[in-house]
Structure 1
């Protein structure tokens, strides 16, 4: 089994940044041949890495440090007024955690979400292979949170369980439920799930100040940012 001292890393050639226009990005990947267990994955996440399928990566741009890893300190979090409204608005929904897997039901929701919300992004057009390689392959202690309106699947959140927290991977929802703020609702549910499991952190991936789509992350406080190798409470202003 691999460990931090034996891992080999590779950097991609410069490519167009997915988040900031007119920027070039470089990504550092863990050698895909490495055996990454839950313990090592947890250590990598604490160092700012993310998982996409069976790949573990983090930004490694030469002249840009806009991508900031962030996590929520669960014990100290209290929903603000807007988040309490989201919880109340969705009090009629139910959630359940199931092992990450492929089903047509999950894929149809995923495809509809990508087609309606991200037709201008690099995940379009969706495919079954894309869904599987992104959300199912490489799963260690990986789960899907089904968000249900009665028997109807209206949202799906992918989450990994780490030694010291949960890692929010991706959330999709039925665009017809956009007014429900299901992205925020999914994060709030994961906060409570981390508390139930007595896990101290919820990792929320990367925050980019110039990217409006990521603004929601700083509404969860106290949010911590990884800067210069240290996690510290972040002032988003």
Structure 2
């Protein structure tokens, strides 16, 4: 899950260069104010579905990636800086850290306000060893990476089974129809018919069946987007 969507000054975390770096958590997500979608992993689909539709986008390599649709406006959303009352995807919560494709490399955004706070906690001790703060962060990033890799397996299986089709969802917004046809969704009817008995069992134990139904259920959360948009238009 190495894409650095919000990172203005990405750099590998280095125990020499960043020996004195301090870190302080923040409940502000202002850094994500200019996006209307963010990636999500399969284990998040249920929680995400209450606040945001989970849809799929096609990648440059021809694969698919699930994303949370945050808004119908371009390069913005109506969640404010703190996303109060809405699900916050792990892709957002992990900032200003990220795990590179090479799992031994942790990336940070050196420009993030989370760093060098006077009351922040150090990431390395005086000998250059990781503090508990950094160890906890590394464990969190590894958990997210595992979920991301499982999700890639899931989306590849959806593609192989031909279960993703272009979205037919149309939303009425300001007396205009907004088509969400740049996204892909699972065809529920095809899903019921596509799997063999063995695959049904396999998908159930992998959690993919639950993820699929959570995704299908989440489409109704377009109404949550409309509610958020309506509040900002008052």
TM-score (norm 1): 0.23
Is the helix fraction higher in 1 or 2? 2
Structure of higher CA gyration radius: 2
Which of the two has greater strand per residue? 1
When normalised by structure 2's length, the TM-score is 0.23
